[in-house]
Structure 1
Amino acid sequence: MWKNYLKIAFRNLAKNKLHTSINLIGLTLGLGVSILIFFFVQFELSFDNFHQDSEQIFRLERHQIEDGEAQTSFSTPIIAAPTFENEFSQVAHTTRIIGGSAQAYLDEETTQTQQFRIVGPDFLEIFNFKLLQGTKDQVLQDKFAVVITEEVAKKYFGDANPVGKSIRMKMGENYEEYQVSGLLEDLPANSSIQFEMLMNDQNLDFNIAEEGQNNWFQVYGDTYVKLNDPSEKATIEAGVENLMKKVLGEEYTEGSYLFTLQPIAEMHITDKTNTGMIESTRPTLLWILAGIAFLILLIACINFTTMAIGRSTTRAKEVGVRKTMGADFGQLVFQFLTEAFLTTISALVLGLLLAELLVPTFNSLFEKELTLIYGPVQILMLFGLVLLITTMAGAYPAFFMSSLRPIKVLKGNLSIRFGKQALRKGLVAFQFFISFLLIASTLIMVNQMKAVRSFDLGFDQEMVVIVDVPDVPSTSFVKSITESFQQAELYRQALLARSEVQSAGISIATYGDDAFWDAGFPTDGDVQFNFRVNFVGGDYIKAMGLEMAEGRDFNPDPGSDSSAFVINETFAKAMKWDDPLGEMMPNTRFNPHQIIGVVKDFHHNSLYKEIEPVVLAKSPETFFSGINMLMINSATNPKVLVKGNGNDFEAFRNLLESEWERVFPLEAFSFSFMDETVENQYKADERLGKMVFMAAGIAILIAAMGLFAMAALSIAGRTKEIGIRKVLGASSFSISWMFNREFLMITVIGVLVGLPLSLYLMQTWIAQFAIKSWPSWLNFAILGLAGIAFTLLIVTAQAYRATQMNPVKTLKDE
């Protein structure tokens, strides 16, 4: 019996090659893209679940209230980890994770910048990273011991066993020998915590004074705790208030400084803008991608259903004959579902091949390391997709056709107006609705990102190169910044001697989200005033192309203007200064200083955020004397910003590197372009826009194939009518318009519903930008007219072929 079902199914599919091909191509495209997206979503949702006791692991989140303004961050004080372990019996282990970098000898003559994580000795007791050599309770006990990954081991030692060997790194003012005590397997791609090297947190002594390590208001890196029982989370959070009262004493105001515990399962998929030391994915992105995958599949399934309905008259005779021969309802349903299943399973095989081909492009687009692994979860997901599509695409034709009465079918009295008209038109209209929804969304995203890219940020990003200069570590923050700037000044002066260099400045921060540091001080009325700060040197304002609104620029000579501040226009407005020149900060704690200039507002952050008050300062000592809050969100090493004269980037890069080797012969050269730094801020939304664009293209292709097939079926079923009309004198145009009118109505409905809905849905996406730009009504009008022209072209081509047939032959055949 099964053999006969399959034989009949294969014969029916082979007999109708056009319809089978359209169904197969549509489902293959839909499945290929959808499989890729579903695997990606499943990969994103799998982050950090490989840790054995992941439900017991939490990250501390700090909550601070200043003058009624709530601030949250995952940067925590160093003292938090030992305090939580000592004060709460529910805590089994704690660890800090603080990022850092140092110059390390790759061989006897070459150095490179080595990234590392400073962690507590219990780090590997908390997290289940696979240790290939060494024991997890011993490898991080010694100050001068490091644990490295396989990739780092190969870089330093080739194929030799790295354990017991040494790596020289510059910690503080001197190079220290670190012995490799453990070797880790390269980290899983679905780990939120990424690193190359681990070292014991005793190494904090090189950079942070004892006072900073014991201060609850100086924050560095993230803190993780592992509980004995995850249900004890609420107990710990309830006890934090009393803990803060105990450790802060009179400094503490109820509710002003607290900690909560975030499960690591919630770290990666989050809407939080400040995610600490990990990269996150917005849940909105996953919902959008999953929605796109479902819509593409739905369009392909609609093609299958509409074509089955369109062929209902032909298949109805088959049903009538088979019922007369004794076939029952269940057998016929199973036969139709078998045909749908065979088409779907064939499309799945082709879709998997297509997905494999698209993986490199997808990884490049989203900067991921996705691989299609067919484990039990994935196989179950694919099996579910096959059943879903078989049901979606084949259920209506199967049950509708199998319920027909054989007497009416064979007598020719069959009426399936609902199947041939209302449902079919509704499904095709829904296809157009989805297509126009995706196209209009793409138009909105392209227009917004074009406005973002062309927006005047208030500074010059062209031909500006950012060169990272190694900092001079010190337990004194002021000393570290001062001496690091002196080192950067040597390189800046060397560059200024070259005619190819127009100007050069020094800066702690460059551009981007949270690149400028957060700072604040209490004003005369004890109201907290928060703003952004950047320490600069040389011709920073000139190199960045900032414009002075009033006053003057800093003197570029080292040591000059050490008591001077330059502010932006927003800062002056916030302070309500009509004439800010010569003003002083409204706090007596500041060392003697003076505001010498006001720069025109510029976007120091990405265009997701509004312009904030900004202070530019040369002397950290003068500035630190008056603030009561500082949050460092980016690297602390200085950067030399170099503005070139020409357009030959390669020659300019060689110049920068040659001068570097002369000034810093033992240090690794690292640089980036300012315009690339700016563009990187919008990568996530650029990727999403490209994905929606590709989805729109696939949706249009599938919908076009469906429209082509439906027009062909509609015209083929009315060849006798066309012949009669031609004999009676109807023109080709009138016959063509008769068919066009039917499909144009469907197109117009899709446009009228899809375009307004896209505007509504995209409001949430576009609201995240401080700068917003909507396409003009003319763009949407052109899009609607293009859709109508698209339908006219396909239907007219089909109708024209039918009108060219000899009516005598058509009527004779009928």
Structure 2
Amino acid sequence: MWKNYFKIAIRNLSKNKLHTGINLIGLSLGLGVSILIFFFVQFESGFDTFHQESEQIFRIERHQVEEGGDLTSFSTPIIAAPTFESEFSQVQYTTRMIGGSAQAYLDDETTQNQSFLMVGADFLEIFSFPLLQGTKEQVLQDKFGVVITEEVSKKYFGDDNPIGKSIRMRMGDNFEEYQVTGLLKDLPTNSSIQFEMLINDQNLDFSVDEDSQNSWFNVYGDTYLKLNAGQTKESVEAGVEAMMKKVLGEEYVEGEYVFTLQPISEMHLTESSNYGMIEATRPTLLWILAGIAFLILLIACINFTTMAIGRSTTRAKEVGVRKTMGADFGQLVFQFLTEAFLTTLAALILGLILAETLIPTFNDLFEKELSLVYGPVQILILVGLVILITAMAGAYPAFFMSSLKPIKVLKGNLSIRFGKQALRKGLVAFQFFISFLMIASTLIMVNQMEAIRDYDLGFDQNMVVLVDIPEVPSTSFVKSINEGFSQAELYRQALQKRSEVQSAGITIATYGDDAFWDGGFPTPEDEQFNFRLNFVGGEYVKTLGLEIVKGRDLNPTPGSDSSAVLINETFAKAMNWDDPLGELLPSKRIGNHEIVGVVKDFNHNSLYKDIEPIILAKSPETIFSGINMLMIHSATNPKVMVKGHGSDFESFRIMLENEWEQVFPLEAFSFSFLDETVQKQYVADERLGKMVFLAACIAILIAAMGLFAMAALSIAGRTKEIGIRKVLGASSWSISWMFNKEFLIITIAGVLVGLPLSLYLMQTWIAQFAIKSWPSWLNFTVLGIAGILFTLLIVSAQSYRATQMNPVKTLKDE
């Protein structure tokens, strides 16, 4: 019996090659894209779940409650880890996690920049990163012991066993010998925490003085803890206020400075731009992608359903004969569902091939390392998709066809349209609605991102190269910055002598979300004033093309203007200063300083955020002496910003590298483009726009195939009517318009619903930008007209062919 069901299903599918082909192509496209998206969503949702007892692992989040609101960050004081461990019996292990880098000898003559994480000795007790050699209790006990990944081991030692071998890294003023004590398997791709090397946080002595290590108001890196089994984060958070009162003493103010715990399961998926030192993804992105996958599948399923209904006339007599011969309702339902199942199964195989083909492009788009691994979860997803599509696409036709009355069918009393025109038209209209919704959303995204790219940021980013200057480790933060600037000045002066260079400046921060440091000071009225801070040197203002609206620029000569600062217009407005040049920063602590100029507002942040008050200073002492809050968001080593002439970058790069080798012969040369740094801020939304565009193209293709098939079925069912109309004198144009009118109404309905809904839905997405741009009504009008013309083209091509048939052939059997 089962064999006969499959035989009949295969015969029916092969007999109707056009409809089967359209269903296969539509479902294959839908499944191929959907499989990629569903696997991606499952991959992103599974981040950090490989850690044993992950429900007991938390990250500490810091909250500073001020007049301007609750400032939150995952940067925490160094002293937080040992204090939480000693004050709370619920805490089993704690670890700091502080990122850093150092020059390391790759061989006897070559150095390179080596990144690392400084962590506590219990890091591997908390996190279940697979250790291939060494024991997790011992590998991080020694200050000069390091744990490296397989990839790093190959880089330094080839295929040799790395355990016991040494890596020389510059820490402080000297190169130190670090012995490899542990070897980790390369980290899982679904880990939020990524690193190449682990070293003990005792090495903080090289870069942070003792006072800073014990200060609750100097923050460095993240802090993690693991609770004992059965303990909850609420039990720890309930005691935080008492702990802060104890450790701060006279500085304690109730509710002003507290800590909460974030479960590790909530780290990776966050809407906040504040996600610390980890890799994060916005949950909204996953919801949008999952919605896109579902809509594409829905369009493909609608094609299946509408074509099955359209073919009802040809299958009706088959149902009548089979019922007369004794087939019951259940057998017929199963027969039609078998056909839907076989079509879906074939489409799944083609979809998997398509997904495997597209995955490199998908990984490039989202900068992931996703692979289609067919484990139990993935198999369940695929089985679920087959069942879902079989049910969605085959259930209604199966139950509808199987319920036909054999007497009406065989006597010819059954209407050719079966009374289901409204349903079929509704499904086709829904296809067009989804298609226009996606197209309009793509149009809105493209227009917004184009506006972002073309927006005047207030500075010149073209042909500006950022060259990283080696960090000068020191326990004195000020000394580290000043010596870094001294090194940067040597390189800058060498470049200034070259004719290829227009100008060169020095900066600590670049541009983008939180690139500028956060600072704050108390005013004489005991109010907290927060601002953004950057330390600069050389011809910084000239290199970026910033406009001085009042006063003058900072003197580029080293040692001059050490007490001078520049502010932006927003800073002056916040202070209600008409003439800032005669004013002083209203801090109770800041010593000798002078506001020498006001720069026109420029976008130091991405265009997701508004412009904030800014201070540009040459000397750290001037600012550090008077602030009570400092949050560092970027590396502390300076960068030289170089603006070149012309557009021949390759020769310009060679010049930069040659001068580098003269000034820093043992250091690795590293550079980036300012315009690329600026554009990276919008990568996530650029990717989303591309994905929506791809989905829109697939939706249009599937909908076009559905429209083609439905027009063909509609015309095929009315060939005798066409013949009669032609005999009675109807023109080809009038007959063609009869069919076009039917489908144009469907198209216009899709446009009238899809376009306004896209405007409504995209308001949430576009609201995240400080700069907003909507397409003009003309763009939407053109889009609607294009959709109408698209429908006219497809239906007219089908109807014209039908009107050219000789009516004698269509009417001779009457």
With the shorter chain as reference, the TM-score category is over 0.9
Shift of 1:273: 1.4
Q: Matched residues in 2 for 1:68 and 1:782: separation?
A: 46
Q: Matched residues in 1 for 2:363 and 2:104: separation?
A: 31
Contact 2:590 2:627 in 1 (8 A): yes
Gaps of 5+ in 1: none
Which segment drifts farther, 76-85 or 416-425?
A: 416-425
* Secondary structure, aligned partner of 2:187: coil
Shift of 1:419: 5.0
Corresponding residue number in structure 1 for 2:812: 812
Relative to the length of structure 1, the TM-score reads 0.99
Shift of 1:588: 3.7
Task: Give 1:199's aligned amino acid.
Answer: I
**Cα deviations by residue, 1:529-561 (Å, 9 ceiling, x for unpaired):** 000010000000001110111110011000000
- Structure 2 residue 66 is matched with structure 1 residue 66: yes
Q: Matched residues in 1 for 2:309 and 2:69: separation?
A: 62
Shift of 1:284: 0.4
Q: Matched residues in 2 for 1:791 and 1:752: separation?
A: 15
Corresponding residue number in structure 2 for 1:676: 676
Residues 652-731 of structure 1 aligned to structure 2 (within 5 Å): 652-731=652-731
Contact 2:571 2:613 in 1 (8 A): yes
Corresponding residue number in structure 1 for 2:126: 126
Contact 1:146 1:199 in 2 (8 A): yes
Shift of 1:229: 2.6
Corresponding residue number in structure 2 for 1:242: 242
Corresponding residue number in structure 2 for 1:206: 206
Q: Matched residues in 1 for 2:220 and 2:315: separation?
A: 72
- Structure 2 residue 450 is matched with structure 1 residue 450: yes
Contact 1:531 1:614 in 2 (8 A): yes
Relative to the length of structure 2, the TM-score reads 0.99
Corresponding residue number in structure 2 for 1:649: 649
**How many positions carry a matched residue from both structures?**
814
Residues 159-198 of structure 1 aligned to structure 2 (within 5 Å): 159-198=159-198
Q: Matched residues in 2 for 1:813 and 1:52: separation?
A: 76
Shift of 1:765: 0.3
Shift of 1:415: 3.2
Task: Give 2:146's aligned amino acid.
Answer: V
Corresponding residue number in structure 2 for 1:538: 538
Corresponding residue number in structure 2 for 1:555: 555
Q: Matched residues in 1 for 2:7 and 2:322: separation?
A: 15
Corresponding residue number in structure 2 for 1:308: 308
* Secondary structure, aligned partner of 1:681: helix
Q: Matched residues in 2 for 1:351 and 1:68: separation?
A: 52
**Cα deviations by residue, 1:632-678 (Å, 9 ceiling, x for unpaired):** 01111000000101110111000000000110000000000011111
Contact 1:146 1:180 in 2 (8 A): yes
Contact 1:55 1:230 in 2 (8 A): no
Contact 1:548 1:600 in 2 (8 A): yes
Shift of 1:67: 2.6
Shift of 1:508: 0.3
**Cα deviations by residue, 1:238-293 (Å, 9 ceiling, x for unpaired):** 01010011101121111111111111000001112100001211110000000000
Corresponding residue number in structure 1 for 2:255: 255
**Cα deviations by residue, 1:338-363 (Å, 9 ceiling, x for unpaired):** 00000000000000000000000000
Q: Matched residues in 2 for 1:329 and 1:19: separation?
A: 25
Shift of 1:813: 4.2
Task: Give 2:91's aligned amino acid.
Answer: V
* Secondary structure, aligned partner of 2:420: helix
* Secondary structure, aligned partner of 2:180: strand
Corresponding residue number in structure 1 for 2:82: 82
Q: Matched residues in 1 for 2:573 and 2:122: separation?
A: 50
Shift of 1:420: 3.4
Residues 47-66 of structure 1 aligned to structure 2 (within 5 Å): 47-66=47-66
Corresponding residue number in structure 2 for 1:769: 769
**Cα deviations by residue, 1:483-515 (Å, 9 ceiling, x for unpaired):** 110011000000011010010000000111111
Task: Give 2:367's aligned amino acid.
Answer: E
Shift of 1:798: 0.2
Shift of 1:231: 4.1
Gaps of 5+ in 2: none
**Cα deviations by residue, 1:185-207 (Å, 9 ceiling, x for unpaired):** 00000000000000001000000
* Secondary structure, aligned partner of 1:682: helix
* Secondary structure, aligned partner of 2:519: strand
Task: Give 2:159's aligned amino acid.
Answer: D
Residues 444-523 of structure 1 aligned to structure 2 (within 5 Å): 444-523=444-523
Task: Give 2:469's aligned amino acid.
Answer: V
Contact 1:133 1:183 in 2 (8 A): yes
* Secondary structure, aligned partner of 2:238: helix
Residues 102-113 of structure 1 aligned to structure 2 (within 5 Å): 102-113=102-113
* Secondary structure, aligned partner of 2:239: helix
Contact 1:309 1:419 in 2 (8 A): no
Q: Matched residues in 1 for 2:167 and 2:691: separation?
A: 44
Q: Matched residues in 2 for 1:622 and 1:695: separation?
A: 54
Q: Matched residues in 2 for 1:417 and 1:680: separation?
A: 55
**Cα deviations by residue, 1:557-585 (Å, 9 ceiling, x for unpaired):** 00000010000000011011100113211
Q: Matched residues in 2 for 1:620 and 1:160: separation?
A: 46
**Cα deviations by residue, 1:139-196 (Å, 9 ceiling, x for unpaired):** 0000000000000000001111111000000001111000000000000000000000
**Cα deviations by residue, 1:595-644 (Å, 9 ceiling, x for unpaired):** 00000000001100000000000010111111111100111100000010
* Secondary structure, aligned partner of 2:232: helix
Q: Matched residues in 1 for 2:419 and 2:268: separation?
A: 47
Residues 7-86 of structure 1 aligned to structure 2 (within 5 Å): 7-67=7-67, 69-86=69-86
Residues 208-607 of structure 1 aligned to structure 2 (within 5 Å): 208-229=208-229, 231-415=231-415, 417=417, 420-607=420-607
Could you list the runs of 4 or more consecutive aligned residues of structure 1 that deviate by over 6 angstroms after TM superposition? none
Shift of 1:526: 1.0
Q: Matched residues in 1 for 2:300 and 2:570: separation?
A: 53
Distance 1:314 1:600, change over 3 A: same
Q: Matched residues in 2 for 1:231 and 1:329: separation?
A: 58
Task: Give 2:343's aligned amino acid.
Answer: T
Contact 1:310 1:420 in 2 (8 A): no
